[in-house]
Amino acid sequence: MTWLKPALAYLPQWFDYRVAQLGLPGASLAVAQGGKVALAHATGVANLSTSEKLTPSHRYRFASHSKTFTATGVMKLVEQGRLRLDDKVGQHVEGLHRDVAAATIAQLLSHTSGITRDGEDTGQWSDRRPFLDEADLRAALAEAQPIPANTRMKYSNHAFGLAGLVIAAVTGEPYNTWIAREIVAKSGLGHTYPDAPLPKGIPFARGHSSPALLGSRFVIPSDNCTNALAAATGFVSTPSDLARFYGSLDPEAKLSVISVASRREMIRAHWPIIGSHPPRQYGLGTARVDIGDWTLIGHGGGFQGVRTKTAFVMGENLSLSVAIHAADGEPQGMLESAARILQTFKRLGPAGKRTADWSGRYWSLWGAADIVPFANRVMVAQPGMADPFADASELTLTGPDEARITAAGGYGSYGQGARLVRDRKGKVTEVIVAGGRLISQAAAAKEAKERYGA
């Protein structure tokens, strides 16, 4: 995978530009390869009120990633013969409404049990009330549910809270205790916890509102204990730990806490996710989507002012995780864009000696343009776009410092020339593309100040 090193060198450049362009307080990105962290990157601040610098070690509320951990725990118990996926929930947990009791374990994990999503008072998600304790959850599960089981995929945090009760009943231990030992610790995740609060001194990225409500962002603590819903939404971790964990769920992974057969059952497309574009499917605690010719399998999460997404790539031995501590962040889009960037580097190959000098970020009044070299061509990427290579012009070299635009959109400058401008020492200082000067950030800033008094 000679293409991976230059791809991982470019990803943080694109990521930082997008985070700044979107006005986010900060965000983190991790890529794992073969169970090892290949990239751990963070930009911005962890807390706007203190200006604490964000680092890759900062923990995030990964929220519904908890569902993947819970499903993994269930599969481990199935392997041990202590559970079956077609067991009725009522075999293990008492006091449930008859329809809830008749739902199967598999239906809980695939969101097809028909159980209410969050109950009649969802104030816990808006920080208006505590998350449900076990008594509250059991009371909700003793009531009739909205739709019959096996009707359609219907997301339910209560269903995964119930799965946590099943794990506790079967193991004879609290969910948090068992899952932390048998899944988290045995997966080698040293920065992951089933729920908050965290031990004192652990770096933690606080949630942030969008700027729309008050005209500026405000800090949301996002350190709530999720009580009986930890199995659905409690987990706290880092993108690096999460990238490694989801990578271990790839059936081709060499190390995992569950068998290959269990992993295949978890990631198999059980039900379509209605209304998703592009089409997505849900398995057991996992969701899958095709991005280009790659299949991404993972989960997202949303907490108070925090949004996250993690997935592994089938057949590529790669996994990615994005965490954004802002209510208006879009980690799913960022992760899928990162996957498309990786695909481009894989498809076009790493730069050679001939194209190597055609590299760097250059500026104009319109913003930044990234000159990115590959094996036999150079791309003029737009880092402000979700996919910087989607509509990029392609340059084919005609000499060491000359090129021609050999691919461009209808509104582009197809067929026109490009060239490098060097100083007396031979260092590239500008790139001219179809008559347009792309210059360094310092030179562009100076030009803007002189011209506009900026």
| Residues 261-305 pLDDT 10s | 999 999 999 999 999 999 999 999 999 999 999 999 999 999 999
Q: Would you state the pLDDT for residue 376?
A: 94
Q: Would you state the pLDDT for residue 410?
A: 94
Does residue 454 surpass a pLDDT of 90?
Answer: no
Same domain, 334 and 378: no
CA–CA separation, 151 vs 90, rounded Å? 19
Same domain, 336 and 367: no
Same domain, 70 and 187: yes
Q: For 386-419, give one letter per residue: b (16+ CB within 10 A) or e.
A: ebbbeebbbbebeeebebebeebeeebbeeeebb
Q: Would you state the pLDDT for residue 97?
A: 98
Same domain, 370 and 325: no
Same domain, 417 and 278: no
Same domain, 314 and 391: no
- Residue at which a domain ends, from 306, 322, 348: 348
CA–CA separation, 308 vs 299, rounded Å? 9
| Residues 215-261 pLDDT 10s | 999 999 999 999 999 999 999 999 999 999 999 999 999 999 999 99
| Residues 137-167 pLDDT 10s | 999 999 999 999 999 999 999 999 999 999 9
Same domain, 204 and 324: yes
Same domain, 425 and 332: no
CATH code of residue 196: 3.40.710.10
User: Is residue 411 included in any domain, yes or no?
Assistant: yes
- Residue at which a domain ends, from 296, 317, 348: 348
Q: Would you state the pLDDT for residue 1?
A: 85
Mean per-residue pLDDT for 155-182? 98
Q: Would you state the pLDDT for residue 203?
A: 98
Same domain, 301 and 378: no
Cβ neighbors of 156 (< 8 A, separation 6 or more) are 108, 111, 113, 115, 116, 117
Q: Would you state the pLDDT for residue 371?
A: 98
User: Is residue 355 included in any domain, yes or no?
Assistant: no
Its domain, for residue 161, covers 1-348
Tell me the percentage of the chain whose pLDDT exceeds 70.
100
Helix or strand (DSSP H, E) at 220: strand 219-220
- Residue at which a domain ends, from 348, 370, 403: 348
When divided into structural domains, the chain yields a total of: 2
Same domain, 167 and 117: yes
Average pLDDT, the chain: 97
